[in-house]
Amino acid sequence: MHYPNGKKNHHIRQPAAANRSQAFGNRGMTLEADINATNTYYRDINKANIHKKPTPVQVVNVHYPRRSAAVITEGYFKQPSTTDYNGVYRGRHIDFEAKETKNKTRFPLANIHGHQIEHMKSITKHGGICFLIIRFSVYKETYYIPAETFFPFWDEQFNNGKKSIPYETIRCKGYRIPFHYQARVDFLAIIDQLYF
C-alpha cells in the first residue's frame, strides 16, 4: 500500500492467497438473503408489504458482562414456527416457506414440517396465496411451487409414497423464477401470472 507521499507502508499485512480464495468462494447470496433483498425492494417501491417472520423465543437466562452489553445464554422456542414469510399484495394475504437444497436430483420432504403444512393448508382454505420457493443451489435455479401443487406430494408420503420430490418434477410442475438485479427472487411476477 502506498501513501499519498509515495512512500510504501510495509506494516500492512496482505491476506494470504488461501484466505482470498475462501472469501471469494462465499460471495454467493443465500436464498434467504435474496428473498429479504427482494422484499425490501418491493417495500421501497410500494409494490407489496412482505416480511420474514421472526421465530418466537422465550429468553430464560441473560448474562450482562457490562452495562452496554447483554448476552442471551439460555432460551427455547415458545412454539413451532409456521412459514418463513407473510404479508399483503394487491389486497391478498401472501404466505410462503423458502427452502434451499444442495441435492442435485430431488427435494427431500423432510425439509418441511407437518405443522408448517397444516398452517399452509389453513391459509389456502381461507383464500390466501400460499406457496413454497425452492432453490437447487447446485444449479442456481429457484422455483415457485403453489401450495396446492405441493400438498399431494406431502400427503402421498404417508401412504407408502416417495419421501422426496424429483428435481425433474419440480422443473415441470413449478415456475422458474429468474434472477434479477433488484428483485432477485421476483415471485410477485409469478403471482401476477397465476392470480391476477
22 is in an annotated binding site: no
Cβ atoms of residues 48 and 188 within 8 Å: yes
Cβ atoms of residues 87 and 17 within 8 Å: no
Run of H or E residues at 171: helix 167-173
44 is in an annotated binding site: no
Torsion angle, CA of 66/72/73/76, rounded to 10 degrees? 170
Which one-letter DSSP state was computed for residue 144? Answer: E
Residue 37's contacts (CB-CB under 8 Å, 6 or more residues apart) are 29, 184
Phi, psi torsion values for 189, nearest 5 degrees: -65, -35
101 is in an annotated binding site: no
Strand partners, 165: 107
83 is in an annotated binding site: no
C-alpha cell at 128: 390466501
The CA R_g of the chain, rounded to the nearest whole Å, is 22
Annotated binding-site residues read 82, 84, 97, 116
Annotated binding-site residues for Mg(2+) read 82, 84, 97, 116
